Structure 1
Amino acid sequence: MPELPEVETVRRGLEKLILGKKISSIEVLYPKMIKTDLEEFQKELPGQIIESMGRRGKYLLFHLSDKILISHLRMEGKYFYYQDQVPERKHAHVLIRFEDGGTLVYEDVRKFGTMELLVPELLESYFLSKKLGPEPTEQDFDLLTFQKALKKSEKPIKTHLLDQTLVAGLGNIYVDEVLWRAKVHPVKSSQKVTKKEAKAIHEQTISVLEQAVNKGGSTIRSYTNAFGEDGTMQELHQVYDKAGLTCSRCGSIIEKIQLGGRGTHFCPRCQRRS
């Protein structure tokens, strides 16, 4: 958490709150969060105007006057906007103040989130260096390319989907949901995924993430959008966090295993390993 749907929901919220605002000052309370030069970061941001908000995979993009601020929320990152006085916040680590008196506050309980400041010309090479896969849309996520990539890897299909090279934006929650819908066991080797199964995974990736965006993401523990509101996609989860409950499709008991250090949920009957 957050995954693509949550980041997209945050992007849409910030788009309504801060577009056109001019940054007057920046306060960094946890310097390790800034992955480019801290002095330059603090010097360059004041005077910049928020021109637009973008997203690439799980990365949030602030398109400024002549720079791009890249923010990765990691596990617990959140943004809150205050028009007037900012309340005392224990986990506030970056405060972006605007000329109109408003303040955008980045909070992160675990302090795993990151921020980087780039010139626009370096954005494409930045994501190339991350080996980030295509966006999960019909236009960008090509089925044939996806099938070919699967055949080159012995990784378990869940692990492969999580590494962001096949398609951008999937995390632990939505991979479990996608594989349940596609009826593919999470441990199955990518090489052994059939063309039919690959097509199902491809279709369900697009469908699940689109549905999650429309539901405002999933609130499992602490996620909220930029307005402090919970998402509702968790109400439609079929396997994630459902261990010990019955599968809505076949009635079998949902199981949970550890795979690559991640809790993994699946139905042993619907998602047979062989």
Structure 2
Amino acid sequence: MPELPEVETTLRGIAPHITDRTILECVFRTEKLRWPLDTDLCYLLPGEKISRVERRAKYLLLFCGHGTLILHLGMSGSLRIVSADTTEQKHDHVDLIFTDGQCLRLTDPRKFGAFLYTDADPYTHKLLLHLGPEPLTDDFTGDYLYSVSRGKKQSIKQFIMDQKVVVGVGNIYASEALFSSGIRPDRAAGRVSLKRLRSLVVAIKAILQKAILAGGTTIHDFNQADGKPGYFTQQLQVYGRSGDRCVICGETILSQKLGQRSTFYCPQCQS
């Protein structure tokens, strides 16, 4: 699933091509993704100009003249900039065609993504309203994480993957950050000290920033807006490396299931 670095990479890829561009046509090739597509948008959007593009958690916000498009890539979706005359493929479900001949194309094989519109403040939309802080902002600190984790018996890995606690720390990046900060993923969140949580926050920020610079992580489906894979895969230290030797101590990397998700850790380096 595309996580925060992949969505941020997508934003940086598409924004220069669609900002200050006027929509000529909106094309739907399916009736629904995760939710039904609003066919009225095919009449409302032409003539609208994209004034800016922002990201909130894993949602992309395309601000138009009279409202905002809210896009989500789901489990396997992607956005690409192509020429408007590029032949569509099987899973190309939505096109935003601009007057300059470029097209923003949403591809979503599993149809778990979203293409929504609101004429209200998008940050008050029900999908965004109760999200936690952005991990790369000053609002996300070890002290904050300590205050919201007290008394929590949930594993620290599941806790930092809760979008109401902090957004965008997906399965891959949670495993990597916990390894970097030396914390076992199955340790109860409420039993992790303030000092260690401060270290964890530093690790989360550093790993997400590295992943963004590398263009995200390609495990199965993700590719960047230009079609290239994300290269952070080459920097992974524990994720997907069960049975391999730890790069720090040489111990065997183990895996277990936490919340139905595969978790990878070093039993020697993490406690």
Which range, TM-score by smaller chain? over 0.9
**Maintained 8 Å contact 1:156/1:188:** yes
Residue 249 of structure 1 and its aligned partner are, at CA, apart by 0.9
- 1:220 aligns with 219
Check 1:267–1:34 CA distance in 2 against 1; reply closer, same or farther (3 A cut). Answer: closer
Question: Hey, what's the Cα distance between the residues in 1 that align with 2:3 and 2:159?
Answer: 16
TM-score by length of 1: 0.93
Residue 212 of structure 1 and its aligned partner are, at CA, apart by 0.9
Question: Hey, what's the Cα distance between the residues in 2 that align with 1:178 and 1:130?
Answer: 26
- 1:103 aligns with 103
- 1:192 aligns with 191
Q: Which runs of 5+ in 1 are unaligned?
A: none
Residue 192 of structure 1 and its aligned partner are, at CA, apart by 0.9
Percent identity between matched residues is 34
Find out whether 1:20 has 2:20 as its counterpart. yes
What SS does the aligned partner of 1:39 have? Answer: coil
CA-to-partner distance for each residue in 1:72-109, whole Å, 9 max, x for gaps?
Answer: 11211111222241223111111111222222210011
What SS does the aligned partner of 1:124 have? Answer: helix
Question: Hey, what's the Cα distance between the residues in 2 that align with 1:182 and 1:228?
Answer: 33
What SS does the aligned partner of 1:187 have? Answer: coil
Residue 34 of structure 1 and its aligned partner are, at CA, apart by 6.7
Residue 220 of structure 1 and its aligned partner are, at CA, apart by 1.6
What SS does the aligned partner of 1:32 have? Answer: coil
Amino acid at match of 2:207: V
Residue 129 of structure 1 and its aligned partner are, at CA, apart by 5.6
Amino acid at match of 2:31: P
- 1:236 aligns with 235
Amino acid at match of 2:238: V
Amino acid at match of 1:14: I
- 2:56 aligns with 56
CA-to-partner distance for each residue in 1:228-257, whole Å, 9 max, x for gaps?
Answer: 112211111100111110010111111111
Question: Hey, what's the Cα distance between the residues in 1 that align with 2:75 and 2:242?
Answer: 22
Residue 130 of structure 1 and its aligned partner are, at CA, apart by 4.7
Q: CA RMSD in A?
A: 1.8
Q: Which runs of 5+ in 2 are unaligned?
A: none
Question: Hey, what's the Cα distance between the residues in 1 that align with 2:30 and 2:182?
Answer: 44
Residue 66 of structure 1 and its aligned partner are, at CA, apart by 2.0
Question: Hey, what's the Cα distance between the residues in 2 that align with 1:39 and 1:230?
Answer: 32
Dislocated runs of 4+, deviation >4 Å: 127-130
**Maintained 8 Å contact 2:122/2:128:** no
